[in-house]
C-alpha cells in the first residue's frame, strides 16, 4: 500500500460529521480521496458496482470504510452484513463510526464482523483527535491485503 493512492469510503448522513472527517483526513494528508455517501443504498451500489457506479474504472475499492449505523434507505448494520458476506469485499476494513453507545449496537456490529467500533465524541476537539488517531492507525500503520479489482 506504500505509495499507492489511498481511498476512504465515508458512509455518513450527517453533513457536519462528514465535513469534519473529510477535513481532518485532508489536513493530515492521510487520504488522497474520500468518497462520501449519504445513505446505505448508494454506498452498496458503489461497492457492488451497480447502476451509476457500474464502470469498474470509476469504482476503485476503498482501503477502509467509515460507516455510520443510522442511515437512510439501508441501515448501517445491513450495509456491514452485505460487505462482510461478499468474498470480494469482506477483507476491506470497516470501522463503525457512530453516536450509539448501546450495547446491542456494539454487539450487532461485531457479530457482523466490524473491524472496529468507535463512538463519536460530542466535543469538536475530541472528535478531531479521534479522527486523527483513526486516520493514522487505519491508513498509516495498519497493513491490509491487496484487494481484487
Q: What is the pLDDT of residue 77?
A: 97
Q: What is the pLDDT of residue 48?
A: 97
38's grid cell: 449519504
Given a cut of 70, the residues of the chain with pLDDT beneath it are 1-4, 28-31, 134-149
Whole-angstrom distance, CA of residue 63 vs CA of residue 93:
7
Q: What is the pLDDT of residue 1?
A: 43
Q: What is the pLDDT of residue 28?
A: 66
How many other C-beta atoms lie within 10 A of the C-beta of residue 87?
7
Domains of the chain, start order: 7-137 (3.40.50.2300)
CB 39, CB 71: distance < 8 Å: yes
How many other C-beta atoms lie within 10 A of the C-beta of residue 143?
6
- pTM here? 0.85
Amino acid at each position: 500500500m506504500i505509495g499507492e493512492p489511498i481511498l476512504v469510503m465515508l458512509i455518513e448522513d450527517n453533513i457536519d460529521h462528514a465535513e469534519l472527517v473529510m477535513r481532518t483526513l485532508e489536513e493530515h494528508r492521510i487520504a488522497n480521496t474520500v468518497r462520501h455517501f449519504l445513505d446505505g443504498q448508494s454506498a452498496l451500489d458503489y461497492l457492488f458496482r451497480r447502476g451509476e457506479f457500474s464502470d469498474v474504472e470509476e469504482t476503485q475499492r476503498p482501503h477502509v470504510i467509515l460507516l455510520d449505523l443510522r442511515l437512510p434507505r439501508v441501515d448501517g448494520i445491513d450495509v456491514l452484513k452485505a460487505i462482510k458476506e461478499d468474498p470480494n469485499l469482506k477483507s476491506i476494513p470497516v470501522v463503525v463510526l457512530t453516536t450509539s453507545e448501546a450495547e446491542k449496537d456494539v454487539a450487532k456490529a461485531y457479530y457482523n464482523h466490524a473491524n472496529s467500533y468507535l463512538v463519536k465524541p460530542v466535543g469538536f476537539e475530541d472528535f478531531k483527535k479521534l479522527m486523527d488517531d483513526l486516520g493514522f492507525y487505519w491508513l498509516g500503520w495498519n497493513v491490509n491485503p491487496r484487494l481484487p479489482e
